[in-house]
Structure 1
Amino acid sequence: MVEKTGITDKEEVFRRLREEGYTNLYVWSDSPGTFYDWHTHPFNEVRWVLSGRITMGTREGVVTLGPGDRLEVPAGTEHWAEVGPEGVTYVCGSKLE
């Protein structure tokens, strides 16, 4: 489920995610049209968009994230992603549960 936080300040995003127990935080950027085929992660993952757009799909559905949007992907969830025409910059993080 997408959470529309409206927050795009990197330091504020890092602070909030650290408070929630996320680690391995980093900022990632993808070029327009970048595509990640179906894959999984061994940990719970978060994607918090700072700028641009990215569409992510799971077996349950497809969502598009824009600036300030956040999506948590549970460990082992099959998903794919495609970057919009303006590219995207987002914060990534992992959490054990």
Structure 2
Amino acid sequence: MNIDEIIKNLEKEGYTNIFIWSDTKGTHYDWHTHPYEEIRIMIKGEMIINTKEKTYLLKAGDKLKVPAGEEHNAEILEDCEYICASKI
């Protein structure tokens, strides 16, 4: 996984506020929304992201877009690192 290449591609797709984030096992993010589209690209570890319609298990190499305004939460299953970005 070439992180620099991924970031360049995200910029080409119109994403901004691009950063790498890490969480430790057991971290939980309660239900919330964002006023912008959000994308996560897993670098390592595992997490679950729930929407009202579906549950997603994300592992290294997986990508998930959460549309603006979609309610979601997250649970970190093992220490992880991922790329976050926003698109207005």
Residue in 2 aligned with 1:93?
85
Letter in 1 for 2:55: V
SS of residue matched to 2:4: helix
- Tell me the C-alpha RMSD between the 2 structures: 0.8
Name the counterpart of 2:60: 67
Match of 1:9 in 2: 2
Deviation at 1:9, TM superposition (A): 2.4
Look up the match of 1:22: 15
In the alignment, the residues of structure 1 paired with residue 21 and residue 54 of structure 2 have an alpha-carbon distance, to the nearest angstrom, of 24
Equivalent AA in structure 2 for residue 9 of structure 1 = N
3-state secondary structure, aligned to 2:34: coil
Task: Report the counterpart of residue 3 of structure 1 in structure 2.
Answer: none
List 4+ stretches of structure 1 deviating above 3 A.
none
**What letter is aligned with 2:81?**
T
- Normalising by the residue count of structure 2, what TM-score does the alignment of the two structures yield? 0.96
Letter in 2 for 1:46: I
Residue 31 in structure 1 maps to residue 42 in structure 2: no
Specify the SS of the correspondent of 2:20: strand
Q: How big is each residue's C-alpha offset from its partner over 1:30-77, in whole Å with a ceiling of 9 and x where there is no partner?
A: 001100010001100000001111100000110100011000000000
TM-score by length of 1: 0.87
What percentage of aligned pairs have identical amino acids?
Answer: 47
Task: Report deviation, 1:12.
Answer: 1.7
